[in-house]
Amino acid sequence: MITIKNDNNNELKNIIHTSLRKNNIEKCKWLKNNVSENIELTTKKNSNFLAFDDNKLIGGAIGFIEYNWYFLDLLYVNEEYRMRNVGTNLIKKIEEYAIKEHLTGVRMETWDFQVRGFYEKNGYVVFAEIKNCPPGTVDYF
């Protein structure tokens, strides 16, 4: 008899994760050619860009590389430094890095109360959206 349980056991989670990655590597040519055989739990490589005014941290872009893409996870600029091209310069540094590393592209998401227009001004286009994630909010990709 098959049963389904809600279980947060990390050891069991790792078994499922490893099994899926092994399956994906077998079936995806790019993964087969670019992911090591030991099937590490993560292939993410952190790559962050920080902005300073003298020695004061004023913002940054936190992201990682996976599957030959740069995933921009977080971008923040202190309010008093907004409208001074800090965010745009962070995006430019990410794009330069992506080109230098021969990445396929840059991906990110933003909520409707954040700065969708900023990303569009910098050449990004919405390719998908999820409504009510979190409730009452639109999540743009």
Domain residue spans of the chain: 8-42, 45-140
Report pLDDT for 31: 83
For residue 96, the 8-state DSSP code is H
Topology annotation, domain 45-140: Aminopeptidase (3.40.630)
Average pLDDT across the chain, whole number: 90
Whether the pLDDT of residue 4 is over 70: the answer is yes
Question: Residue 104 half-sphere exposure, CB side, CA atoms within 13 Å?
Answer: 8
Entry pTM: 0.81
The residue ranking higher by pLDDT, 83 or 16, is: 83
The 10s digit of each residue's pLDDT in 39-64 is 554 567 889 999 999 999 999 999 99
The answer to whether 98 touches 106, Cβ cutoff 8 Å, is yes
The 10s digit of each residue's pLDDT in 62-113 is 999 988 999 999 999 999 999 999 999 999 999 999 999 999 999 999 999 9
The answer to whether 90 touches 59, Cβ cutoff 8 Å, is yes
